[in-house]
Chains A and B, each alone.
Chain A
Amino acid sequence: DAGVIQSPRHEVTEMGQEVTLRCKPISGHNSLFWYRQTMMRGLELLIYFNNNVPIDDSGMPEDRFSAKMPNASFSTLKIQPSEPRDSAVYFCASSSNPGLAGGPRTGELFFGEGSRLTVL
């Protein structure tokens, strides 16, 4: 398997612009997670989905952030409008969880390479 695939790997944009980050989870995985990592705050969970359904979005910092998972193989994280304080590395991760339908059920979490966002 190719692993979790994220795009773009790097994004530089100006304040106020819309940013869309994309993620393709590992085939057969039924849970998907979006994290943000900064030097100051470390790794923060933004939102996660089980079987394409958003379960907990309490980590989403503001209404400017939104995430969707229209099907089992694709998710997006959108920031509109973007601000300089949104600059961070955004990671997508997926796992196959016990108690949910599908695949091996170890619960092991796999990360993508991340999308480095810089908002000027």
Chain B
Amino acid sequence: KQEVTQIPAALSVPEGENLVLNCSFTDSAIYNLQWFRQDPGKGLTSLLLIQSSQREQTSGRLNASLDKSSGRSTLYIAASQPGDSATYLCAVRQRGNTPLVFGKGTRLSVIA
């Protein structure tokens, strides 16, 4: 059974700092991996989707990498801003038509 772990559970950094959020999964035979952002009281917003054949995806100040063989993904946030404060969730899909398996998230606080 696939398990997804995100460490740390919470992180507080000063504004402007570059940071890395970690995600690990137990079964490396994945179809794709997706990073989400959730603001308090809101739904989950898709940030980046990495297909199993890809090594990384970039969107603005965000860069997500995927290393299937080691069962790891990282989300890199450059020049963090207070508006980046949110919970970030990682999720993996085993096959194309199966549900995502979610980690419990990392709660990020960027202090001005």
A-side residues, CB < 8 A to B, are 31, 33, 42-43, 45, 48, 50, 55-56, 91, 93, 97-100, 105-114, 116
Contacts and interface: CB of A to CB of B under 8 A. Distances in A.
A98 B98 CA distance: 10
Interface of B: 31-32, 34, 36, 41-46, 49, 51, 89, 91, 93, 96-97, 99-100, 102, 104-105
A42 B105 contact: yes
B46 A31 contact: no
A31 B97 contact: yes
Contact of B46 (A45, A108, A112): A108
A86 B44 CA distance: 20
Given A107-B32, A108-B34, A43 B102 contact: yes
Most buried by A among B89, B96, B104: B96
Nearest to A6: B43
Contacts of B46: 108-111
